[in-house]
Amino acid sequence: MSTEQKVVSPSQNLLNDKWDVVLSNTLIKTGLGFGGGVLASILLFKRRAFPVWIGVGFGLGRGYAEGDAIFRSNHGLRTVKA
């Protein structure tokens, strides 16, 4: 029996690390938006649903925008000047 070991390249590690940060960040922002929407719904809008959905939308939007910035950044990449 032979055992295969999967070799992961450094670039794949960097990509996996970025995905971990983006997904956790988006989940946290969406949860905070949901909580803020529930709070606003209870305190200001007589328990209507639209503040919750607006809060979730803002959370997803911030998570997406910050994730896009993370993937576009050169942080962690080696650059060589010729």
pLDDT tens for 5-44 read 776 676 677 677 888 888 999 999 999 999 999 999 999 9
φ, ψ dihedrals at 26, nearest 5°: -65, -40
Helices (H) and strands (E) in the chain, counts: 2, 0
| pTM, two decimal places | 0.72
Q: Hey, where are the domains in the chain?
A: 22-72
